[in-house]
């Protein structure tokens, strides 16, 4: 039976550490950190995530602002708002909730954010710094996964990590970070065109699923004792499920993250950590 990696509990611990660090920053004469969230349109999941981010900020003593924009806003108007937030000295972090509507080129918008305020770490300058091993900020979901591994003493050095999914937000940075010095995993970045994906997964000591396909990873794809990190959040008729068949995987794996209550809450905790850092504080 696998040990359950409780991301909800760990995220609360980390958010408590961030609250302490915010209080220390302010009492040393620093400014109260402030996160500006930009939400375009009415996507119900995005509304929940932004609300949860704001609530988490509030509880940690981080000020938060929300700009809600209509789904049909032009790219030019959105860029104007970003320019204003970039110039506002009271704003330390800017977050544009994804996905954006079709008329807007997400990469153009993300590149418009001042890299020093880019607490999602999606700007090419921040991606480049991360690739070179000198990160300003780490992207929130991969950063959350690394925290889960470290704080549960899950060894990565010399291990084979398989990351399934090559998104810019999760798969690519996750694979890169695990291969970097200090984490020292040997990494396979697998995706929809990888031949014999089940066999590749069976060779993984650490399996990270970030594909967005409900319960795609079956129990017999998992090496006994492996650490299984499920980044997927899929809404199905039977509720919220991950990319991993949890019931089958739990019987084989050494560690496993649940969905919900695994990686998702860690993403939000690491956004607060980046906002604290953007304001000059010490992030955990």
**In the annotation, is 97 catalytic?**
yes
**30 annotated to a ligand binding site:** no
Parallel, antiparallel or unpaired: strands 255-256 and 3-4: parallel
97 binds ligand LMY7XDAE (CB under 6 A): yes
Q: How far is the CB of 160 from ligand LMY7XDAE (least distance, A)?
A: 26
DSSP H helical segments within the chain, as ranges? 7-27, 44-60, 75-87, 106-112, 124-131, 140-151, 171-179, 197-202, 246-250, 263-278
What is each CA distance from 9 to 40, 179, 263, in whole angstroms? Answer: 30, 27, 11
12 binds ligand LMY7XDAE (CB under 6 A): no
d(CA 48, CA 212): 18
Contact 207, 217 (CB under 8 A): yes
**166 annotated to a ligand binding site:** yes
Range 214-243, binding Mg ion (CB under 5 A): none
**46 annotated to a ligand binding site:** no
Nearer to Mg ion, 58 or 168 (CB): 168
Which residues, in sequence order, are bridge partners of residue 190?
Answer: 164
Residue among 53, 159, 172, 277 flagged as catalytic:
53
Token duo for residue 152: 């549960």
93 binds ligand LMY7XDAE (CB under 6 A): no
d(CA 61, CA 18): 9
**In the annotation, is 88 catalytic?**
no
Which residues, in sequence order, are bridge partners of residue 255?
Answer: 3, 227
d(CA 196, CA 253): 20
265 binds ligand LMY7XDAE (CB under 6 A): yes
Which residues, in sequence order, are bridge partners of residue 162?
Answer: 188, 207
d(CA 133, CA 171): 17
112 binds ligand LMY7XDAE (CB under 6 A): no
Nearer to ligand LMY7XDAE, 219 or 260 (CB): 260
Q: How far is the CB of 122 from ligand LMY7XDAE (least distance, A)?
A: 7
Range 141-200, binding Mg ion (CB under 5 A): 168
137 binds ligand LMY7XDAE (CB under 6 A): no
- The HSE-up count of residue 167 (CA atoms within 13 Å, CB side) is 16
Residue among 54, 118, 120, 205 flagged as catalytic:
120
140 binds ligand LMY7XDAE (CB under 6 A): yes
Query: For ligand LMY7XDAE, which residue of 64, 156, 267, 283 counts as binding (CB under 6 A)?
Result: 267
54 binds ligand LMY7XDAE (CB under 6 A): no
Query: What residues make contact with Mg ion under the rule CB under 5 A?
Result: 168
The residues assigned a catalytic role are 53, 97, 120
Query: What residues make contact with ligand LMY7XDAE under the rule CB under 6 A?
Result: 45, 48-49, 95-98, 120, 140-141, 233, 240, 259-261, 264-265, 267-268
């Amino acid at each position: 039976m696998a040990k359950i990696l409780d991301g909800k509990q760990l995220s609360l611990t980390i958010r408590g550490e961030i609250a302490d660090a915010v209080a220390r920053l302010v009492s040393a004469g620093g400014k109260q950190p402030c996160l500006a969230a930009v939400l375009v349109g009415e996507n119900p999941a995005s509304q929940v995530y932004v609300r949860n981010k704001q609530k988490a900020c509030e509880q940690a003593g981080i000020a938060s602002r929300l700009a809600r924009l209509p789904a049909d806003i032009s790219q030019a108007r959105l860029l104007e708002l970003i320019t204003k937030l970039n110039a506002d000295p009271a704003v330390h972090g800017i977050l544009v909730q994804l996905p954006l509507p079709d008329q807007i080129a997400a990469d153009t918008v993300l590149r418009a954010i001042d890299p020093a305020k880019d607490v999602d770490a999606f700007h090419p300058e921040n991606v480049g710094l991360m690739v070179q091993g000198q990160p300003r900020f780490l992207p929130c979901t991969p950063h959350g996964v690394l925290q889960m591994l470290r704080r549960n003493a899950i060894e990565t050095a010399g291990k084979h990590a398989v990351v399934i999914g090559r998104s810019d937000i999760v798969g690519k940075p996750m694979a890169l970070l695990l291969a970097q010095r200090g984490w020292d995993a040997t990494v396979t970045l697998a995706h929809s065109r990888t031949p014999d994906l089940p066999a590749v997964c069976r060779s993984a000591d650490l399996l990270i699923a970030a594909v967005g396909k409900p319960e795609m990873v079956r129990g017999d794809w998992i090496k006994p004792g492996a650490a299984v990190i499920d980044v997927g959040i899929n809404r199905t008729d039977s509720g919220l499920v991950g990319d991993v068949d949890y019931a089958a995987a739990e019987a084989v794996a050494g560690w496993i993250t649940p969905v919900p209550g695994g990686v998702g809450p860690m993403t939000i905790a690491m956004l607060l950590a980046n906002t604290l850092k953007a304001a000059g504080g010490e992030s955990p």
